Amino acid sequence: MDTCRFTRLAIASLTFSAIASVAAAAPAGRCPSEAVDEMLRGTRESALRWDRVPELTVLLPVMQYEKGRSTDFRATGSTLTEDEAKALVADLTKALAVLTDNAMTQFSAIHFETAATGEIVNVMRPGQIVVARYEGVRDQLATVGFGGQSAHGRTIRAGSIILDNDFDRASKTRTLLRMHELGHALGYNHVQSRVSIMNPKIGAGPTDVDRAIARVAFRDAEPASCAIPVG
């Protein structure tokens, strides 16, 4: 059975400092096994993974977020500029390499897609990660983005990245938002025990712990052997 889930990214808040100070107290040099578990398994029995390199589809129209809908959204009349769309692809490609420990350095194809104003677009498609900016995410849900995936058993079939239009257009930390949501589309869960790009509050960039976990996830390294110095 296919399961589809989205995970929200909260707006930065003071809670992040608390997480950071706890994480800093963790002993250096030890395998971050708790973080490995949180990020790869979360509440599931086993980690999810893509069995192929995904394609990336950029929706050029800004979409309308509607609470209650999960994979079909309506196109608004606004669109991304060509430069904005290219910058989004560049950021996500860079993020893909970081989050997979260079196991994937490019998407297998890049598509730029248009839609007429008011058209309903499916954003969860086999073999693809579909990314778009959405109006109304922050207003309706007090979050600045979502990343989700649809999986069959342990295999991820499709991914989707939902970016709040205002935040993604204007915030200096949008590259972190994009990387975090791509992480969800790749099957990663939130990390609470260490400073991580996958912390539920936006703020941290990718860390050595994240790179170590990416190696486990995408290079098939054994978690028990991840004796990588972490600070």
Q: By the criterion CB under 5 A, which residues form the site for Zn ion?
A: 7, 9
Q: Are 181 and 163 in contact (CB under 8 A)?
A: yes
Tokens representing 208 are 């050595």
Nearer to Zn ion, 10 or 89 (CB): 10
Q: Are 184 and 200 in contact (CB under 8 A)?
A: no
CB of 176 to Zn ion, least distance (A): 11
Burial 53-68 (b: 16+ CB within 10 A, else e): bbbbbbbbbbbbbeee
Nearer to Zn ion, 9 or 121 (CB): 9
Nearer to Zn ion, 9 or 217 (CB): 9
CB of 147 to Zn ion, least distance (A): 6
CB of 2 to Zn ion, least distance (A): 21
CB of 7 to Zn ion, least distance (A): 4
CB of 6 to Zn ion, least distance (A): 9
Nearer to Zn ion, 9 or 137 (CB): 9
Q: Are 76 and 64 in contact (CB under 8 A)?
A: yes
Q: Which residues contact 139 (CB under 8 A, 6 or more apart)?
A: none
Nearer to Zn ion, 49 or 74 (CB): 49
Q: What angle do CA 84, 59, 62 make, to 5 degrees?
A: 75
Report the distance separating Cα 135 and Cα 140, nearest Å: 10
- The identity of residue 170, as a single letter, is A
